[in-house]
Structure 1
Amino acid sequence: MSTGPLISVIMPALNAASHIGDAIRSVLDQTWQNWELLVVDNGSQDDTARIVSEFNDPRIRSFLEHRRGVAHARNKGLDNMRGSFFAFLDSDDLLPPRSLEARASILLARPELQFADGAMERWNAEMTSLITTVTPGYSGPPFERLIRIDPSCFIGNTWMVRRSPGTEVRFPIGMSHSEDLAFYLLLGREGYYGSTNEVVLRYRTGHGSAMSDLEGQLNGYVRLLLLVRNEIPGVTQGQFKALRQRVQGIMLRSYLKEMRPLAAIKALLRLWR
């Protein structure tokens, strides 16, 4: 589809040479062709910039930045986008061919919606084996579900957002884990959410060590709790307690899965403060 609103796809990249070509090609292969891709290179030391430059398509714009984190990179894309709708794609993930069209069609058919979502496939690191498919199933105001990290409304960085005067939100600088949830919580105080059963993202798993991922996840949740308590007005004590209990449960299960009970206890204490 070459008509319809312009969709901005924002892609942060850091040392992504091994996968970014496939990610960009998945945007090029979209059935919805009225898009722009903003690639924000976050200080890569490999061939990321060269690979991006080899795509000779005026719809692809690249930005070279010093290494200031994924939140800053996404904000750079938000500051420079031109589309009526916007979505995100990490440089190691893939969009199925109908990803943009499936979500944009929801926003066009239902003008009361601010956010459109869809199913996500989780694949192994080589993208050769499908692990699971997660499908949201909610329609309505998203905030109450977001703050409970409810998978009927939040499964990852899969939302498409309709630009409006209420969507000038930016990612909290310095967060490298849970920054997408923080962004949606800041964004989702107003507006309505809808979803499709179509798969809109193929997510690649298996990066990094389990230990470093857990520590990063814990730090992200600590930052998230501080943000919700201090920077989002109107959050009730019950809502904050529900979020804290949810992230405590996630981290407890994660550390115990790695046979690290002492680290699990320390994580619970950090999240309780």
Structure 2
Amino acid sequence: MISAVIPAYNRARTIGRAIDSIVAQTRAVDEILIVDDASTDDLAAALEPYDETVRLVRHEKNRGASAARNTGIAEAKGDMIAFLDSDDVWTPEKIARQMDFMAEAEVSASCTNFKVIPPGEESGKPAWRPYDEILDLTDLVWGCYVSPGSTLLCRRSVLQKVSGYDVSFPRYEDWDLLVRMVRQEGKIGFLNEPLATVYLGTHLSPEAAEGGLERMEAKHWNELAGDGFGSRFQSALAFNLASVRRLEGDYGSMLLELARCYWLYPIGNWPLRVILRDRFRRR
């Protein structure tokens, strides 16, 4: 049994297209669970056409996306859980392709590739990810680049074993989750097909992002350094901090963090390759 879980906060405008993309699956899910994280817009009205299609659980107070996903994990009836953010969509064959892939790869959790649509644009292109079919710590130490909020399909028991999302993270909670999952399972599958469309947000908090990176370092540094990933992890933190500085408009600090990222791990630094690849593609 497959449960689709959508956490929602003030997404009355977009949640319909998310639900429609689940309904359109060639392999039907058994349950669509909406977790309303105390929305203040008219989300209830947006859900009225789907009364017979979805099950709604509501938080009385806003608790954040991690807590909403944890509620979805606890409330879901399925032994498999597929996450979808309330402003994103799946392609019709997403669940069918991913379930077949997981059976072939013998994995209990997997993510897929996806298309990225920047703010204000209507079309996008698939993300470039240099991954094999199996993700391990060598991949995940660099960060969370598989958009699990809209691509993760996982056995509920695995999510329960790792105690779900860590609600202490203001950002980068997905990165933390996947690192803990791969330690639990040894591997996570990656299907390199763009089976979701991710609409990038416009209101990202630099303070929350910086706090998330600090929490990530405090929680995972000892284990990752002990596994021999210390330089890569520090380089990854610098790369993500460069993104925060860009959000703040501090381009001098951004360049310094990118330089630190390269200095810490110059060979095999694939996030830097993404920047160069995207830059030359635009020319």
Counterpart in 2 of 1:55? 50
RMSD (CA atoms)? 2.9
Matches within 5 A, 1:245-264: 245-252=235-242, 255-256=245-246, 259-261=249-251, 264=254
- Change in 2 beyond 3 A, CA 1:125/1:76: same
CA contact (8 A) 1:147 1:239 kept: yes
- Change in 2 beyond 3 A, CA 1:259/1:166: closer
Matches within 5 A, 1:173-192: 173-189=167-183, 190-192=185-187
Q: Distance in 1 between matches of 2:218 and 2:198?
A: 28
Instruction: Name the TM-score, length of structure 1 as normaliser.
Output: 0.81
Of 7, 15, 22, the match for 1:20: 15
Counterpart in 2 of 1:271? none
- Change in 2 beyond 3 A, CA 1:94/1:15: same
- Change in 2 beyond 3 A, CA 1:207/1:253: closer
Q: Distance in 1 between matches of 2:170 and 2:26?
A: 31
Count of residues in Structure 1 that have an aligned counterpart in Structure 2: 255
Counterpart in 1 of 2:82? 87
**Cα deviations across residues 12-42 of structure 1 (Å, max 9, x unaligned)?**
1111111111111111111111331211111
Counterpart in 1 of 2:38? 43
- Change in 2 beyond 3 A, CA 1:136/1:88: farther
Unaligned runs of 5+ in 1: 1-5, 269-273
Counterpart in 2 of 1:244? 234
Q: Distance in 2 between matches of 1:74 and 1:200?
A: 21
CA contact (8 A) 1:142 1:192 kept: yes
Question: Identity percentage over the alignment?
Answer: 24
Counterpart in 2 of 1:159? 152
Aligned partner of 1:90: which letter? D
Residue 168 (structure 1) aligned with residue 161 (structure 2): yes
Instruction: Name the TM-score, length of structure 2 as normaliser.
Output: 0.78
CA contact (8 A) 1:140 1:192 kept: yes
Unaligned runs of 5+ in 2: 259-283
Q: Which has the higher helix share?
A: 2
- Change in 2 beyond 3 A, CA 1:81/1:128: same
**Cα deviations across residues 193-222 of structure 1 (Å, max 9, x unaligned)?**
3332322210001421xxx53332222111
**Cα deviations across residues 115-168 of structure 1 (Å, max 9, x unaligned)?**
2222110013356121553356323352332122275xx454322113446753
